[in-house]
Every structure is written in C-alpha cells, then in structure tokens.
Amino acid sequence: MVLERTFSIIKPDATRRNLTGKIIAKFEEGGLRVVASKRIHMTRKQAEGFYAVHKDRPFFGELVDFMISGPVVVQVLEGQNAIARNREIMGATDPKKAAPGSIRAEFAESIGENSVHGSDAPETAKDEIAFFFAGSDIVG
Ligand code: GDP
C-alpha cells in the first residue's frame, strides 16, 4: 500500500446536472481525500493541451468541444493506491460496462459524456496535477 495522489476532473455533464456533491461523496466514501479543488471553465487551448495524448483519435474534436461546454471541477485526490482506487470508484469509460455503484454506472450519460476523468498512471498523475495546480495549492 502506498499513499498516492491522483488528478480528477468532474466533467461538464455532471456540473450541469448539479452532481458535484454526489460525486465527491463517492470519492470520500471510497477512502480518498480531496486535497485540492477548484471550479474552472477550461479554454479550448487548455482542453487541447490536457488531452494532447488523444489528438489522433477520431473523437478528439468531440471530446474538446464537450470539455469546454461548461464548468468543470479539477481536484487532487489523496489516499492509499489513489490512482487505481479512483479508477475503481469511477468505473469503466463506457457507462454500460461500468461496475454497479461506480460513478459512471450511476451518473454517466454516454462513453463521451462520462462525468469524471482520473489519471491512469503515476507519471500522468504527476503531469496532470501540475497542469492545473501549484504545489502550494495542495493541502494534505
Ligand atoms: P478514461 O481514461 O476512462 O477516461 O478513457 P480514455 O483515456 O480511453 O478516453 C478519454 C476520454 O475520451 C473518455 O473519458 C471519454 O470522455 C472520451 N472518449 C473515449 N472514448 C470515446 C468515444 O468512443 N467517443 C467519444 N465521443 N468520446 C470518447
């Protein structure tokens, strides 16, 4: 077991439906602690930069348009094995395949508008946290 930090986004489909509290409750009930949080409206440039790894995928334009369609809540979550734990709490990318009780099973609207983002590895977690937060913004 290792104490880790991961990066999370509550996406525009969830902020639009006023689900931020219900989603944060899932993280907290799942053993993760919110150690940094802010509500922002991403610019196109930020969204394209954040998702640059997906730039050659067919849904890239759709994904960027969606991520700038409304406010998001960016957060740093801390806990034992936080990266993997958060992915469990989120559920599979496609809500139809997400485990019962997971955020995406309960709240996601589609494979694209799927309520949350979570880092998938230690290196991406580090880079994604640094994309939105200074070290002094994070209070564990
Ligand atoms: P994640 O790590 O579970 O978020 O999944 P991926 O890294 O594979 O994809 C990143 C994000 O791109 C997903 O969370 C979705 O918002 C979006 N996405 C993935 N696959 C599709 C797709 O087939 N269509 C659309 N429109 N968006 C997708």
Tens of pLDDT, residue by residue over 52-102, are: 999 999 999 999 999 999 999 999 999 999 999 999 999 999 999 999 999
Residue 118 pLDDT grade (very low, low, confident, very high; cuts 50, 70, 90): very high
Q: Which two tokens stand for residue 59?
A: 């849904």
The pTM is what? 0.98
Q: Is the CB of 131 under 6 A from ligand 1?
A: no
CA dihedral sign of residues 91, 96, 100, 106 = positive
Q: Is the CB of 87 under 6 A from ligand 1?
A: no
Beta-carbon neighbour count of residue 126 at 10 Å? 14
Residue nearest to atom 3 of ligand 1 (CA): 93
Q: Is the CB of 106 under 6 A from ligand 1?
A: no
In 71-134 the beta strands, taken as DSSP E runs, fall at 72-80, 116-118
Phi/psi for 136 (5° steps) reads -75, -10
Q: What is the DSSP letter of 98?
A: S
Give me the pLDDT at residue 1, please: 78
Distance CA(77)–CA(33), nearest Å, equals 5
Chain segment 43-62, per-residue pLDDT in tens: 999 999 999 999 999 999 99
